[in-house]
Amino acid sequence: MAGRPLPTSPARATARDRTPVRDGAPAPAGASGPATKKSLDRGPASPAGPSTRGGAATGRFRRRVRENLVAYLFLAAGVICFALFSWYPIVRGILLGFQQVTFAQPAEWVGLDNFRRLFDDPLFLTAWKNTGWFTLLALVFGFAAPFATAVVLNELRRGKAYLRMTVYLPVMLPSVVTMLLWRWFYDPGPGLFNNVLDVFHLPPQQWLESENLAMVSLVLVSTWANMGTTTLIYLAALGGIPGELYEAAELDGASIRRRLWHVTIPQMRFILMITLLLQVIGTMQVFVEPFVLTGGGPDDATVTVLLLLYRYAFVYNDFGLASAMSTLLFVVLGAFAGVYLRLTRSKG
């Protein structure tokens, strides 16, 4: 059993390595090198050349071939990059989940072993629960806050440019800087937040050290850091709502709240749906927040799927286990996206 994969799998691996790339780029790039040089040199003269010599059809054909070679020469670098760092890793990622990978030996097929080991890890379920909890909290804060902000900003007559700029400032900070900054704010000793609470005579909190509060603290940072993007997208969408709709609703005697409910929200439906989907997909992959702020603690309360995946791969060097985890994450997110899109489409 152990003997057989050893000789065959490297051969198989290299064959697999080559196929996606060879289909796309190097073949035309290699073959076209001299041909395209010619075509570039002869470029302006070509329309007259072949048509006098042979049939017009073969001339046209030759020109098509030459044009295609030039086009693929321009495409080559892009296709190679995609093949190496996107398409090939997609295929390989799925395969890795069923393999045992170490740097010392060639990869070995282990079937569903990685998945079995995943389910045996007590942290596995914790990570999914924590991630689900984070996503849910992030939706409560991160979905409502930008929408409310955008609606309010859209009504203001002054200071819009300034407000639009400030809300986007945190997005421009490197995420590590944001996390280190907030870790300082959350500090139970000289931290800013507990000092502010103290001003209002509220008890200090163990922001990152308490099991109940740690995840909420992470969601707060995450919302602060990311809401700028969504707010600006909503603002742009709000600006596109035709004013006549509001006028008509007003003539019908609709109050501001009803106008918001019956005009603004339906008009924003598409963009709200898309951002909701993207936000769930994004927050399910939360990593930097727990990695920098809590390291997964206290008592594994902030171990997320991606943090666990990171540990599997880069702390324990168990790439097969990590890939099984990312396959699962991919399946879950894909299923969610599929169900969500179907549900929202059938309603509309």
List the interface residues with another protein, window 265-324 (CB under 8 A).
Answer: 271, 274-275, 281, 284-285, 287-288, 291-292, 306, 309-310, 313-314, 319, 322-323
Return the range that interacts with another protein (CB under 8 A); candidates 53-61, 93-101, 112-120, 135-143: 93-101
For another protein, the closer of residues 3 and 243 by Cβ is 243
Q: Which of 58, 68, 102, 105 binds another protein (CB under 8 A)?
A: 68
Tokens of residue 118, six digits: 């995943």
Question: Residue 99: what are its φ and ψ, rounded to 5°?
Answer: -125, 160
Q: With contact defined as beta carbons under 8 Å apart, do 29 and 76 qualify?
A: yes
Mask 221-260, x = binds another protein (CB under 8 A)?
A: ---x----x--xx--xxxx-x-xx-xx--x-----x--xx
Kindly tell me which of 210 and 285 has the beta carbon lying closer to another protein: 285
Q: Which is nearer to another protein, 176 or 212 (CB)?
A: 176
CB of 183 to another protein, least distance (A): 8
Q: At a CB cut-off of 8 Å and minimum separation 6, what does 309 contact?
A: 322, 325, 326, 329
Q: Write out the binding residues for another protein, residues 30-59 only, by CB under 8 A.
A: 40, 43-44
Of residues 128 through 167, those in contact with another protein by CB under 8 A are 151-167
Report which of 225, 217, 223, 226 is spatially closest to residue 293, judged by C-alpha positions: 217
201 counts as binding another protein under rule CB under 8 A:
no
* For the chain, the helix, strand and coil percentages under 3-state DSSP, each to the nearest 5: 80, 0, 20
**Looking at beta carbons only, is 139 or 212 nearer to another protein?**
139
Of 3-22, which residues contact another protein (CB under 8 A)?
14, 17-18, 21
Q: Taking CB under 8 A as the rule, does residue 61 contact another protein? A: no
Count of C-beta atoms within a 10 Å radius of residue 164: 16
Interacting stretch for another protein, rule CB under 8 A, among 4-12, 120-128, 180-188, 340-348?
180-188
Closest CA to 284 of 337, 344, 339, 323: 337
Alpha-carbon Rg for the chain in angstroms: 28
Nearer to another protein, 192 or 212 (CB): 192
Are the CB atoms for 306 and 285 separated by under 8 Å? yes
Positive or negative torsion for Cα 333, 338, 341, 343:
negative
Q: Determine the Cα–Cα distance for residues 26 and 49; give it in Å rounded to an integer.
A: 30
Q: How many residues bind another protein (CB under 8 A)?
A: 109
Both tokens assigned to 11: 């051969």
**Of residues 3 and 155, the one with the C-beta less far from another protein:** 155
Token readout for 219 is 């969601």
Q: Which stretch binds another protein (CB under 8 A): 1-9, 50-58, 181-189, 208-216?
A: 181-189
- Which of 122, 190, 203, 348 binds another protein (CB under 8 A)? It is 190
Place of tokens 């470029």: 43
